[in-house]
Amino acid sequence: MNHFDVANGDADGLCALHQLRLAEPVDALLVTGVKRDIGLIERVPARSGDVVTVLDISLERNRAALVRLLDAGVRVRYFDHHFSGEVPAHPGLEAHIETQGGTCTSILVDAHLKGRFRAWAVVAAFGDNLGDVARKLAQPLRLTDSQLEALGELGDSMNYNAYGETIADLRIPPAELYRLIKPYADPLQFLAREAIFEDLRNGWREDMTRALALRPQSDSAHTGLYELPDQPWSRRVIGAFANHLALSHPTHAFAVLAPNTRGGYVVSVRAPHGHARSASGLCREYPTGGGRHEAAGIDDLPEEALPGFMVRFESYFES
C-alpha cells in the first residue's frame, strides 16, 4: 500500500498537511505546486489499495480525477474549504469539506486533531487573510503580541511564496518549504532556526513596495481594479497585494490582474467583508475560475475577455 499527499503549495495547504503528518506520520509521496496549480489529483499514480490525502484543493476542479481514483479502489481522505459542488457519495471517500466563510483547510484539520498543533493552523489562517479568526483561534495558546505578530508574518510569507505561474517565479519551491517546516511542531522554533523566513519576508516586502506604488486601473465607490506589469514579481505578489487591499478597505471589492505567459491574465478577486455575493461566484463564471467566498481567482482570463470582465466585476459587486 502506497500513500500520497496532495496539497496546495500555499500557507493553508502546507500547514494543513504539516499538522496532519505531525499527528499521523507516514511515508508519503508529496504532490504539490504553485497555488493556482490545483489540478493535482490527476498526477497521482495511485492504484487499488493505495491511500491519497488531499488538502486545500478544489474538489470541483478535480472531480473527474477524484472519481477515477475512487472507482479504481483508492481510498481518499479530503480536507478543503473551497466551493466543491456536490460531494461524491462513495464508500472510499472520507470528506471534511466546509465552504462557509471564515474558515480554511488548516482550521478543519485543527478541529479534526482537536487542536494538537494549533499554532500551525494560526499561521495558515493569517496566510489566508483571516486575521480576526487567527487571533481568536490563538487565544488558548497564550502567545505574546510579538509571537502572534511573528506567526502572522510567517503565514503571509508562506502564502506569498505560493503565487506564481511556475515554480521558477517563486522564492522557494513549495515542496522544499514543506521539507524545511517538517521537523518543527512549533512554528516559533522554525522561525528561530531557519533562515528561509527572512528571505521570504524580505521578498514579500520588496514586491509589496512595488505593488503599492501603482494606481488602480479603475475604481468606484465600492470596487477597485489593479493591473500589474508583466514581471515575475507581479505574479508573486498578486495574492498578497489583493489581501492587503481587502484588509485596508473591507467594504470594497478588489480585482488584481497580472499578465501570464499565455497572452492572458491571472486574476485575484477579494469580496467585501460580509457581502452577500462571493468572490468564487464571480470567478466561477469563467472557465478557469474558482475559489471561496472571500477570495477567489481566475487562472487564465483571455485578453479579449478583459473589457467584459472589468464591466462584470463592477456590476457584480455594486448590485
Supply the pLDDT for residue 31: 97
What's the pLDDT at 39? 84
**pLDDT of amino acid 201:** 92
* Residue 261 lies inside a defined structural domain of this protein: yes
CATH code of the domain containing 51 = 3.90.1640.30
- Give the predicted TM-score (pTM) of the model: 0.89
Give 31's strand partners. 6
Could you tell me the three cell numbers for 252?
Answer: 470594497
Final residue of a domain: which of 201, 234, 265?
201
Is 312 within a domain? yes
CB 33 within 8 A of CB 9: yes
Structural domains of the chain, count: 2
Domain that holds residue 89: 3-201
What is the DSSP secondary-structure string of 201-241? HHHHHHHHHHHHTPPPSEE-SSEEEEE--SSHHHHHHHHHH
Q: Within this chain, do residues 218 and 190 fall inside the same structural domain, yes or no?
A: no
Same domain, 225 and 312: yes
Residue 279: give its domain's CATH number. Answer: 3.10.310.30
The residue ranges of the chain whose pLDDT is under 70 are 319
Q: For residue 22, tell me if it sits in a domain.
A: yes
